[in-house]
Amino acid sequence: MIEKITSHTFGGLFKNKSIQNFIFLITIQASNIVITLISMPLLIQSIGVDGFGLVNLSLSVIILANIMVGFGYNLSGPREVALHQNDKEMLSHIVSNIVFSKVLMALLATLGIVVAIFGLNMFREYQWILLFSVLLLFSEATLPIWFFQGLEKMKLISIANVFSKLLYLLGIVLFIHTPDQSKWVNFIMGAAGLGINMLLLLYIHYELEIKFYKPKFIQLFASLKENGLLFLSNIATHISVNGGLIVLSFFASAATLGMFSLAERISMVLRVFPSMVILSIYPNATKLLKDDLRKFVVFLRKAYFGSLVVSLFVSLLTFALAPYIIQLLSKTNLAESVTYLRMLAFVPLFACLNVANVVIFLARDQKELMFRSSWILLLYMLPVCFGLSYFYGGIGLSYGLLSTELMVLIICTILNFQKNGDVLKAFWMNINSV
């Protein structure tokens, strides 16, 4: 046992492509958070609290629309690229189909927003801010992060992401000075992202020798149809994970909403961890499962139990430091918010329990199982969280969100035993021998 542990040096760990994937994905998330924290006071000072709120409302609409633009390709794309890493002709068709499909969905989403604004007169307070924000849809459509995930070469995309965020920050400093300029905030973010993404696509074309074909409409339709279940699954998952605050708004006061929102934001940042683990390991897991079940099981066990240890440590640390974290962020002592955070601190740990199930689904391209599990979960989450919020407020919702993470584990495990019994049994058998 000691030999096994000492054989995995730090240098060897950092040479592992899946660990590199994870580190660079975390770098992307960390840079996004840091730039957001830096830009917030600058924007509030320039466009005011009201303008800042409207900019964020527009961004919330765009984030929902981006689920349509992504259309599940951020999950299916890495798998396809990983399976055809050495076939440039096949990669050319994969890249062309995905990029053109996402651009098409961005155009449709933009059309929907334009109709909502000018045809239905929706979003009245921030129509022009939202209209200028649609460039973010095309930034999402052209972002080739799924391609580099599949190749397990995330260094370039992480550097590009940091650079685009710095361009956005520079744009705010140079061009945003008065409230009437608030409509340009998200536009600058979209322009910076789109510009960097176009450079990445040029790199893919010229340096990696990937050709861009003009897909036929029937090919685009077939690609979108194939990813339809992942798209619907993403919608259900988004509501299940992010819908708690909306549920609580029906029953709680503004003060309770504010204190719960603070704790939930911290919890959502921590919950990124299991998602990053899945996205970083599943391209390699896909190749291993196709070629050698034993190697797949060994690899998945190491990643799974390693993520559980890390998430347990993070959850316990957050639980212990909750009063100090709330004090640091709110500049005041909010006992109720501390209570919420101590409960929600275990959300990432519970989410990590399901990492192995999700990786198996993705590695075997089982979109139907992803769809079924996510919608069964949503049908559980909504009535349970509504009921607990009604009777017990924020505490009840916290219990509801924790039980939701455990319920998805139960649902996915049952589905896995039904459809992937061979893999799941191999994963849990002889566990001490690894």
3-state secondary structure of 304: helix
DSSP-derived letter for residue 119 is: I
Give the range of the structural domain holding residue 180, as residue numbers without chain letter.
27-226
Residues 155 and 303 in one domain: no
Nearest to 361 by CA among 298, 423, 274: 423
Q: Is residue 151 domain-resident?
A: yes
Residues 86 and 148 in one domain: yes
CA distances from 177 to 42, 184, 349, 412 (A): 9, 11, 42, 50
- The domain boundary, picked from 169, 194, 226, lies at 226
Residues 346 and 425 in one domain: yes
Residue given tokens 């259900």 in the structure block: 236
- The domain boundary, picked from 226, 258, 291, lies at 226
Q: Can you tell me the distance from the alpha carbon of 233 to that of 419, in angstroms, rounded to the nearest whole number?
A: 18
Residues 104 and 128 in one domain: yes
- The domain boundary, picked from 226, 250, 276, lies at 226
Residues 209 and 295 in one domain: no
Within 13 Å and on the Cβ side, how many CA atoms surround 90? 9
Q: Is residue 133 domain-resident?
A: yes
Q: Is residue 236 domain-resident?
A: no
List the chain pLDDT tens, one digit each, 434 residues.
334 434 444 455 556 666 777 777 777 777 877 887 788 778 878 888 678 778 877 887 888 888 889 888 887 888 888 888 888 889 998 899 899 989 999 999 999 999 999 988 888 888 899 999 999 999 999 999 889 888 878 888 888 988 999 999 999 999 988 888 889 999 999 999 999 999 999 999 999 889 988 877 777 777 777 778 888 888 888 787 777 777 887 877 767 777 787 788 788 888 888 888 888 888 888 888 888 888 889 889 988 999 999 999 999 999 999 998 888 776 777 788 899 999 999 999 999 999 999 999 988 888 888 889 989 989 999 999 999 988 988 899 999 999 999 999 999 999 999 998 888 888 887 544 44
Q: Is residue 68 domain-resident?
A: yes
Check if the beta carbon of residue 185 is closer than 8 Å to that of residue 47: yes
- For residues 349-381, one letter each, b for 16 or more C-beta atoms within 10 angstroms of the residue's C-beta and e for the rest, the string is bbbbbbbbbbbbbbbbbbbebbbbbbbbbbebb
Check if the beta carbon of residue 149 is closer than 8 Å to that of residue 283: yes
Helix axes 293-330, 335-344, angle to 10 degrees: 180
Q: What is the DSSP string of 370-401?
A: HHHHHHHHHHHHHHHHHHHHHHHHHHHHHHHH
Residues 173 and 265 in one domain: no
Q: How many domains does the chain have?
A: 2
Q: Is residue 331 domain-resident?
A: yes
Residues 318 and 206 in one domain: no
Nearest to 311 by CA among 359, 337, 347: 347
**Length reported for the chain:** 434
Q: Can you tell me the distance from the alpha carbon of 142 to that of 164, in angstroms, rounded to the nearest whole number?
A: 13
Provide the token pair at 8: 């995995």
Q: Is residue 409 domain-resident?
A: yes
